[in-house]
A and B are shown apart, each in its own frame.
Chain A
Amino acid sequence: DAKTTQPPSMDCAEGRAANLPCNHSTISGNEYVYWYRQIHSQGPQYIIHGLKNNETNEMASLIITEDRKSSTLILPHATLRDTAVYYCIASPSSNFGNEKLTFGTGTRLTIIP
């Protein structure tokens, strides 16, 4: 799996868009970009994933650069409940069962009131 690099921490004001960057410069053509988050010590929660097109769901948007070497997770209107550690993962399959998701240390996002 390609290695991903994320800033260790970020702050964002409540109500503003939170933009979380991820670098995956060695990503291969068959690797997807996944985002999960972990609130305190709860189980991680799946947010979104993509291959090369931008994706949006009810939780967030995922913007992947054209060369696929980096991506940005966007939480459009951050709330205090979005304070969590966010993990960016590159993995070679969209089959969510049998890929070995390798979680790094993620970005600790703090939403400021």
Chain B
Amino acid sequence: EAQVTQNPRYLITVTGKKLTVTCSQNMNHEYMSWYRQDPGLGLRQIYYSMNVEVTDKGDVPEGYKVSRKEKRNFPLILESPSPNQTSLYFCASSSGTSYGYTFGSGTRLTVV
């Protein structure tokens, strides 16, 4: 089944403890992107990648890092998480054709 898989689905962590949210797609898509969703603010793009080793900042990149060493994987790294990064995170991928982005099921992160 074609899908974008994020792990973990739920995560509670403490301030300052580095964490990685993994994202993998099995559709051979070139494009991948990370979003965060907060009440009243909608979905905001954090980073996106147009291909292996090609990444760029979205609208809210501060406090996040990404890497794209392989086409299928696009992990989101929080080097020193803070409570304001408590959010629902979505990874998405696209082939660049007419079917839009395919989103993962989301990762609900709580930083205490």
Residue A102 CB within 8 A of the other chain: yes
Asked whether B96 lies within 8 Å of A95 as measured between CB atoms, the reply is: yes
Asked whether A97 lies within 8 Å of B30 as measured between CB atoms, the reply is: yes
Task: Given A44-B90, A103-B42, A104-B42, decide whether A96 and B99 contact each other with a Cβ distance below 8 A.
Answer: yes
Interface size class of B (residues with CB under 8 A): 20 to 34
Q: Which residues of A contact B90 (CB under 8 A)?
A: 43-44
Asked whether A97 lies within 8 Å of B31 as measured between CB atoms, the reply is: yes
Residues of B31-51 contacting chain A, CB below 8 A = 31, 35, 40, 42-45, 48, 50
Chain B residue nearest in CB terms to A94: B98
Complex interface: stretch among B12-20, B63-71, B76-84, B100-108: B100-108
Inter-chain CB contacts under 8 Å: number:
69
Q: Which residues of A contact B31 (CB under 8 A)?
A: 96-98
Asked whether B88 lies within 8 Å of A96 as measured between CB atoms, the reply is: no
Q: Which residues of B contact A45 (CB under 8 A)?
A: 103
Chain A residue nearest in CB terms to B91: A43
Complex interface: stretch among A17-25, A34-42, A74-82: A34-42
Among B30, B48, B58, B103, the residue within 8 A (CB) of A44 is B103
Residues of A67-113 contacting chain B, CB below 8 A = 87, 94-98, 100-106
Task: Given A97-B50, A98-B31, A100-B58, decide whether A44 and B45 contact each other with a Cβ distance below 8 A.
Answer: no
Complex CA–CA separation, A8 to B45 (angstroms): 22
What are the 4 tightest A-B residue pairs by CB atom distance, in nearest-first order? A97-B31, A46-B100, A43-B103, A103-B43
Q: Which residues of B contact A (CB under 8 A)?
A: 4, 29-31, 35, 40, 42-45, 48, 50, 58-59, 88, 90, 92, 94-106, 108
